Structure 1
Amino acid sequence: MARVEKPYLIYTAESPSGRRYVGITGTSLKRRWAAHVRRAVSGAIHPLASAIRKYGAENFGLAVLEVVADKATAQRRERFWIECLRANGPDGYNISPGGEADGEVGAARLKELMLDPEWRANHLAKLREACRGRQPIHLPAAAEAWREMNVREAWRIARRASRIAAAGRARPDPRFGAWGRLRIDSTKVATARRSHFARLKAIGQWGRRTKADTAALGAKIGRSLKAHHARHPERVAASIATARRHIDKRHQAERASAGLKRWWAELRADPERYRRYLEQRASTRRRNRAS
């Protein structure tokens, strides 16, 4: 997909003295002017920044001169409007003929002036004097002044910062409350309590039963299960199939083989028992052949 360039605005800002500044922006005029005001409040050294501090940002007249389709056209038209409105000179605040030359012209001019020892010493002394009265880390007064002049922009920046901070925080565990206490469902607590006491009661009842009572109860349970299986053969088949699917045949074969080896070792260790086993096995084979 072809890249679509965003439109650019060519705008002018006029101070109460009648002097103008011409610039271009790829955003809205409101946001670009807010950026100029931020630079002025932070103490930027530029004719427009000095004028904003002198007259106040609210006393400037802003207007859009043109809207063009790309940056190259915007830079070309910016040079035209700077020359047309004489914004680069005594009647304006531009320090270059336009385009991308603003920064280059400013840097070249500063480099030329810094070669003069007297101007350099005076400039550095002014910078030191200006920095003495500032708080270079927080600048609370400058920030507060900017917030008062740009309420909506300040709210937008603060809102974005709060969302970023909230996204970076770990999400709370829903199992715990605000004070770190585990949330427990009362229904689950009651069910667990009933199950616990029912289990204790069943253990006590089985412990008090005699062997005859246990055998009779086991027979009763067996008859009930057989009747249930007879009524629902499809459930029995499904249960058996599920059990067979969950059998670990390899593990079962190893355990069965070890059990058989142990049984044969115990049988052969007792000669009398081993002799009776062989006689019984031979007798069983003869009966099977006769039948």
Structure 2
Amino acid sequence: MIAAVAVCLLIGLAMGDQWINPFSASNSLDQTILWELRLPRLLTAFAVGGLLALAGAWFQVLLGNPLAEPYVLGVAGSASAGAVTGLMLMPESSWIMSAGAFTGAWVGIVAVMFFSRLGPNRMLLAGVVLAAFWSAVLALLLALLPEQGLFRAFSWMMGDLSRSDLPIPLLLLAWVIALACGLLLSGALDKLLLGERHAEALGVDVKQLRSRLLLLASAVTALAVTAAGTIGFIGLVIPHLMRLIFGSLHRAVLPASAIGGGLLLVLADSAARTIIAPAELPVGILTAMIGVPVFLFLLLRRTA
């Protein structure tokens, strides 16, 4: 696994308009591109992909639904509404847009937390309704947004790793903390897979566990959306693949998902930069093109 991580990181560093040798110090321009542009973007992609995959694994257990993913409760919609609001207030400030996205995500989280006491099924239904509401708010904001801000708003909504303003150490620290928290809860998560009654009989405080999972998964999603916009299907597909490969125990699934989600987004972002170079595709388009057929294959495999 470590070797695969190293290979994918080197591929991500090398891919682009030209081959960059990370071990050569002869070309100062190449070194500047490598250390100031490629490496920060690569680390951002790895952290965001890993966070989305972890959130997906948690939401699937939390809601008892294998189709759940980080954006199912409307957090992405509220974050997008917040980002566009920030763009309307200060079109030239990336920090305001990121702050708006983070604030909007937490508004969505608070709304979901309010309905969490109704149980997972009603919470999921409330999340779907809230997602529709945030979509309507976002459409209204886009209609009011000046023309010069539309391209930036749409690129962020389709996933954009090129304009992330969050400090990379913060994202990597969040990745480590999220994985550590997941591993601490892995035993309880395994018991919750057996059903609420069985989990309670085995000593798990199900209500407390669900509250912790909801807060943790939502916070991770908010951070990932703030850093890179809306990037779908990683949190849906990667946990499924990892369960097929490593089984259902979360002490194996969670680390594998954190690494696998990061590697998928690194490779997708590298491909997005090169397919139509010098132009660039939104990375969310590629993750959807990869994720949809993989998910349909997994769905057919489960029903066969």
TM-score using structure 1 length: 0.21
TM-score using structure 2 length: 0.21
Higher RCO (CA < 8 A, seq sep 6+): 2
Which of the two has greater strand per residue? 1
